[in-house]
Structure 1
Amino acid sequence: MILHVAVLMGGWSAERAVSLVSGEGVAKACESLGHRVTRIDMDRDVAARLAEAAPDVVFNALHGTPGEDGTVQGLLDIMGLAYTHSGLATSVIAIDKELSKQALVPHGIRMPVGTIVKSESLYEGDPIARPYVLKPVNEGSSVGVAIVTREGNYGNPIARDAAGPWQTFGTLLAEPYIKGRELTVSVLDTAEGPRALGITELIPKNGWYDYDAKYTDGLTTHVCPAENIPADVAASMLAMSIESHRLLGCRGVSRSDFRWDDELGEAGLYLLEVNTQPGMTPLSLVPEQARAIGMSYETLVQAIIDEALARKAAR
């Protein structure tokens, strides 16, 4: 069936540039599938532009706020438009790292124990023992993440003039730093239910897996499928990803990010967050894992669209 697909991309978040790349990739895939495509770089007039386009389905290729936090989802719900990825309530919870813990940890999902701190308090002393991680409560793509170590150059306590997220965000989430390996699992909704596509290990060539390492070609090695993962750890990771997708009410596709302290075995596996709007760029992890199991980028895009249309029809 030939569809009119509006691809919503860009916007004004810190992840605008990545969203534009994701959106253009999706738009070209839709065109190669024979669909009619309207590209929309989101601005404050997005409702009028969507109403004028009157698409069969909206492919939400936005990253960060307001495309990932429930704002756009609420708008699309009011307009009665079918759209890809998770709905309003799921988006509100999943983008907020503290709300996500409250939704997942009571059900047995192991996540780092965190504490919300006022950024000003960091100039007086550490909120928890070093090493620890500071991150905004509701940003993605490692935007604004800092690792505070005993030997770090932020100062002890953190200096006011030290560049870091405390200069941008009023409150931050502090979590213990988990040493070990960076791993991720994509979950795709299918007719049979959520399916984990595989496990990828991310090995940054310098430092850690920050924003630049994620989106700059050559800065991170992707091992897909991941190697040397014991069967019990792999099984636990896949199960936690599917269960987190289910508990949060994710739709279409999600990606769960993990840290694994391999010295502790399965007990060293921690879910960091669930991404409801994972990237669709040439370097993105969801298309890579799909490709590893024989699913083309175009087939992946069509599967996400099909889920959105089926959800709309079921309402």
Structure 2
Amino acid sequence: MTPPTPATTPAAPDVVAPGLTGTSSTAPAHGTDLSVAVLAGGLSHERDVSLRSGRRVAEALRAAGVDVRLHDVDADLLGFLRTTRPDVVWPLLHGAGGEDGSLRDVLELAGVPYVGTGPRASRAAWDKPIAKERLQQAGLTTPEWLTLPQELFRDLGAAAVLDAVVERFGLPVVVKPTRGGSALGVTRVQRREDLARAMVDCFAYGGSALIEQAVDGIEVAVSVIDSPTGPTALPPVEIVVDGTYDYDARYNAGRVEYFAPARLDDHVARQVATDAVAAHRALDLRHLSRTDMIVRPDGAPTVLEVNVAPGMTETSLFPQAVVAAGHDVPALYRSIAEQALTSVRR
């Protein structure tokens, strides 16, 4: 996908809503032909990451000549949309509300074009067990798993259930909330005696846990963007982390080394790209997505999960993939916003 040449008309200063402070010092001084409302913040556990993503996307769009306004997701949102009437909304909420389809339902109710996947497909991708079933139906490999609601886990007796888990899957296993992102509540468990604690940590972020077999190998993230010829994979980004790729490692520099593009053989790189596009299609995603995978020692990829609202912070994987592909970040982000507007007009 070749991004359009950035517009030369500068953008107007943005209006900063509660929770979104600070503007770019290079914000242009007069109007443009495209206005985008970037929504960030919200009240999920991932609020801080969302705010950082929102600011980064706003800066990039502004650099591409877009009139950008930042707004939190609060009681003023619908009034703000009615008053400002942006051409496109770019929701950058991570976690519940932003990725579970509910905010997108509201945007459709308001009749506002927006960047990203629709409500129904967002709900399916947000629910990890449902998403894994659809990925398997599409012929993709994903680690074996089971789902345990907190009530059932308690009623059946924690010790007996965990013994059965270890007997079935062996160790290590990964425990994670069935819904959520940014590795919050996620634990890789190496020892049986640590499994109960991992379950407690998981239930702090949701009422149901997904336990899956751990897969060893090279961790990569493959971003996908829609182009005129269909979904297109960007170069994979390899993640090398000291310890676990947890929340702190993801959003604070120093613990992770990234390679963009990933250090993969050509045929493996082609396969992870093919699988990411297949996942994008299997879950009926739109405009952009990111698929997280492990490349096993034999070169076969295993899909861990798919994200409908990839992080856009300074350490996030999607922007790194955009740069690795040779795209100009502001121009590509503008083209994504234009695509959202064009698809509605069609």
Q: TM-score, normalised by structure 1?
A: 0.91
For 2:57 and 2:194, how far apart are their aligned partners in 1? 46
Number of aligned residue pairs: give it: 305
| Unaligned segments of structure 1, at least 5 residues | none
For 2:83 and 2:293, how far apart are their aligned partners in 1? 42
After superposition, the C-alpha distances for 1:30-53 in whole angstroms (9 at most, x for unaligned) are 222222222111114422222222
Amino acid at match of 1:247: A
Q: Which residue of 2 aligns with 1:182?
A: 219
- DSSP-derived class of the 1:310 partner: helix
Amino acid at match of 2:256: T
Task: State whether residues 224 and 280 of structure 2, in contact with CA within 8 Å, keep that contact through their aligned partners in structure 1.
Answer: yes
- DSSP-derived class of the 1:124 partner: helix
**Among 196, 212, 219, which residue is 1:158 paired with?**
196
Amino acid at match of 1:265: G
Displacement of 1:77 after TM fit?
0.8
After superposition, the C-alpha distances for 1:230-279 in whole angstroms (9 at most, x for unaligned) are 333222211110111112111111000001221x332xx21011111001
For 1:191 and 1:33, how far apart are their aligned partners in 2? 20
Alignment of 1:254-293 (within 5 A): 254-262=289-297, 264-266=298-300, 269-293=301-325
Task: State whether residues 145 and 210 of structure 1, in contact with CA within 8 Å, keep that contact through their aligned partners in structure 2.
Answer: yes
**Among 142, 145, 154, which residue is 2:186 paired with?**
145
Percent identical = 35
For 2:205 and 2:135, how far apart are their aligned partners in 1? 28
2:293 aligned with 1:250, yes or no? Answer: no
**Among 214, 218, 239, which residue is 2:254 paired with?**
218
Q: Which residue of 2 aligns with 1:235?
A: 270
2:103 aligned with 1:72, yes or no? Answer: yes
After superposition, the C-alpha distances for 1:170-201 in whole angstroms (9 at most, x for unaligned) are 22000001112211111111112111111111
Larger radius of gyration: 2
| Unaligned segments of structure 2, at least 5 residues | 1-31
Task: State whether residues 237 and 259 of structure 2, in contact with CA within 8 Å, keep that contact through their aligned partners in structure 1.
Answer: yes
Displacement of 1:163 after TM fit?
6.0
After superposition, the C-alpha distances for 1:4-59 in whole angstroms (9 at most, x for unaligned) are 21110011111111110111111122222222222111114422222222111101
2:228 aligned with 1:191, yes or no? Answer: yes
For 1:310 and 1:286, how far apart are their aligned partners in 2? 23
Displacement of 1:118 after TM fit?
3.1
Task: State whether residues 66 and 334 of structure 2, in contact with CA within 8 Å, keep that contact through their aligned partners in structure 1.
Answer: no
Q: Which residue of 1 aligns with 2:136?
A: 105
